[in-house]
Chain A
């Protein structure tokens, strides 16, 4: 088991190197730092001196891969590749194009993101499983069909409309909670309740339908027939047998997304003005802060790989048939 985890962690290294090379290629080879400087300074009346100054201030004035002018190991380390890409491996994110410490910002903004993401995930899971079991209980009836059609209709509405609708109804017409903003500490609940509710409602369609298929698949299996043949009530069959086994694919699916919760929800956070990592990313994209985008790409892929590893491990925990070698 431990050997397996170590090997899987080592597998992650080439993938992270790949991600790093890809972002390096995208950000520094497709467009030279000169292009970026000109973009930031505005297109008109850009003097070469201003470009040089911008590049120097942000550390883009070094050679890309090989610094022939430096001596010894500095030939490799005094380059953009080393300074901007290799350092990410040590989770040293450097400074944003505006000069702020990205690592510090991420540590600060992680918490509001989690404060939205965790309740949304947990309550959403509970709601979706409840609905899915209800539909599975009435499978094959008109209620089942109506519920599935309703789920498809809910899936067909863009998340944007859920957010706008929620803000408009709850925030503006009924004036129950503030539309956007955030306060640290215990006061935060007022600002969190609406985004969490919107997040849950927008996920119901997709989630319920997905869990319903899992339940139906479980209900078609032989052990369920055995349980019914023993004369167990439908309630016992559903809760004691089907639910427990259906939880295996559901839980392992959730473990995969757990680490990504740190990244926060892009749309919810930016619409509701919550200072989490999602709105951080969107702000960076809008202000074209390449350093932050690079850092988030690396962080996102690192978390994704952790998620993959956790999924494999969780299989062995919940399903004794799976053995990892």
Chain B
């Protein structure tokens, strides 16, 4: 039985919007040119491949349904992604265990076969359970599994490369060998070498993780014994939703108000400026805190409005996006207002006004398309900041619901464990790696987009 959460619906709406935009871009040369420039930068292509993988995981994680429970009725709400990685999700240990560990982190009293009891580290239920003598066999087993995974990954990458090479050769009318030489030498029109290299790397990583996590907890387990790798991957959806939906929420406000203020000037401008100065003057953390506190009070007093924990957490996530959107739309609005103030004096707008075109039409047909590059740059630039903000907000307890998996929550719960001896470092490391990869890819991609779309920068390089 499918369950549609609010954020799921909005995320897929966003995907639809991106598709519509892509179709528009395909048909218009002046829009295609900057995107082609983005795709010619090797860094941007590498970043785009990484971002693509993140997006795919988030999309698979955004199709929720309620599986039939064994005894009839319905179970917990899970996503398609959860279903795909059922072993990872359900194989929980008792408490912490280090990456690739075969024994639990904490000492316990173990009952031996002959009835005696000793204090020691018990074996894990799933991690390395297939080994008889873990100490001796583990390293060899890990090595063998990794090698198998790498060979499989190499085969898949090779097939993909062959496919790409054939297409390239067909397009340019050369032989396969010649197109291979061109790709390796970096003499193709797009940076295909980077594309294939990054993809091969990611495929290798994917196969390694899949093969190894069949037998081990690759990134260890957390306090309640949940696999850290699973938590970290689940957090991708939260991060992406915060990064994208927040801007989606603010876009209509920023565009309508910014364009209207710049176009009409006078009292409309005064009101819009007053609005964004007021909102801007409240430190954003405090505004977010105030709104989230009030939502908490509301939710605590109206428990009957939420049918399940998942839906409750989802609504809080949505509200967080809305609040983040409200605190960040002012910047875009100010930029748009400034740009439209300049554009409204341009000849074609004056001509349209002289022909008696209506205000709404002038703004929609002549002004909005010409400020879209600013919107695009801002949206892409804001993304990484929002992902980072989520972690900070979750640390102050005004971020996502504690039951939602997010990197912020992971850091928050792992932070105190650094004081333990030996150190429990793996949750932090996992959150760090996953977050760093996403934010770095987003930053690199955003830079390429800005360089390609900002007309000021283009003139300098030309």
* Cα–Cα distance between A288 and B295 once the two chains are bound (Å): 12
Tell me if B264 counts as interface (CB < 8 A to partner A).
no
Q: Could you give, for residues 262-302 of chain B, a 1 whenever the CB lies within 8 Å of some chain A CB and a 0 otherwise? A: 00000000000010011011110111011101101110110
Determine how close the nearest CB of chain A comes to the CB of B453; give it in whole angstroms: 16
Q: In which size bucket is the chain B interface?
A: 35 or more
* Cα–Cα distance between A138 and B224 once the two chains are bound (Å): 52
Task: Tally A-B pairs: CB < 8 A.
Answer: 123
Take A172-B418, A286-B396, A304-B280 as given contacts and tell me if A293 and B388 are in contact as well, using a CB distance cutoff of 8 Å.
no
Tell me if A74 counts as interface (CB < 8 A to partner B).
no
Determine how close the nearest CB of chain B comes to the CB of A197; give it in whole angstroms: 18
Determine how close the nearest CB of chain B comes to the CB of A21; give it in whole angstroms: 9
> Is A300 a contact partner of B298 (Cβ separation < 8 A)?
no
Tell me if A267 counts as interface (CB < 8 A to partner B).
yes
Q: Which residues of B contact A (CB under 8 A)?
A: 274, 277-278, 280-283, 285-287, 289-291, 293-294, 296-298, 300-301, 384, 388, 391-392, 395-398, 407, 411, 415, 418, 428, 432, 435-436, 439-440, 443-444, 447, 460
> Is B281 a contact partner of A301 (Cβ separation < 8 A)?
yes
Tell me if A176 counts as interface (CB < 8 A to partner B).
no
Tell me if A104 counts as interface (CB < 8 A to partner B).
no
* Cα–Cα distance between A153 and B284 once the two chains are bound (Å): 25
Q: List 27 A-B contacts (CB under 8 A).
A: A15-B274, A19-B282, A22-B282, A26-B291, A31-B294, A31-B297, A38-B301, A39-B296, A43-B300, A152-B440, A152-B443, A152-B444, A156-B436, A158-B391, A158-B392, A159-B388, A160-B392, A164-B415, A164-B418, A164-B428, A263-B283, A266-B285, A270-B396, A281-B289, A282-B396, A285-B396, A286-B396
* Cα–Cα distance between A220 and B411 once the two chains are bound (Å): 44
B298 contacts across to A, CB distance below 8 A: 30-31, 35
Tell me if A189 counts as interface (CB < 8 A to partner B).
no
Q: Is the interface of B mostly helix, strand, loop or mixed?
A: helix
Determine how close the nearest CB of chain A comes to the CB of B296; give it in whole angstroms: 8
A36 contacts across to B, CB distance below 8 A: 297
> Is B439 a contact partner of A18 (Cβ separation < 8 A)?
no
> Is B447 a contact partner of A152 (Cβ separation < 8 A)?
yes
Question: Which of B274, B287, B290, B391 has a CB less than 8 Å from the CB of A18?
Answer: B274
Tell me if A14 counts as interface (CB < 8 A to partner B).
yes
Tell me if A223 counts as interface (CB < 8 A to partner B).
no
> Is B397 a contact partner of A286 (Cβ separation < 8 A)?
yes
* In the complex, residue of chain B having the shortest beta-carbon distance to the beta carbon of A300: B283
* Cα–Cα distance between A131 and B411 once the two chains are bound (Å): 31
Residues 147-162 (chain A) with a chain B CB within 8 angstroms: 152-153, 155-161
A38 contacts across to B, CB distance below 8 A: 300-301
B294 contacts across to A, CB distance below 8 A: 26-27, 30-31
* Cα–Cα distance between A168 and B428 once the two chains are bound (Å): 12
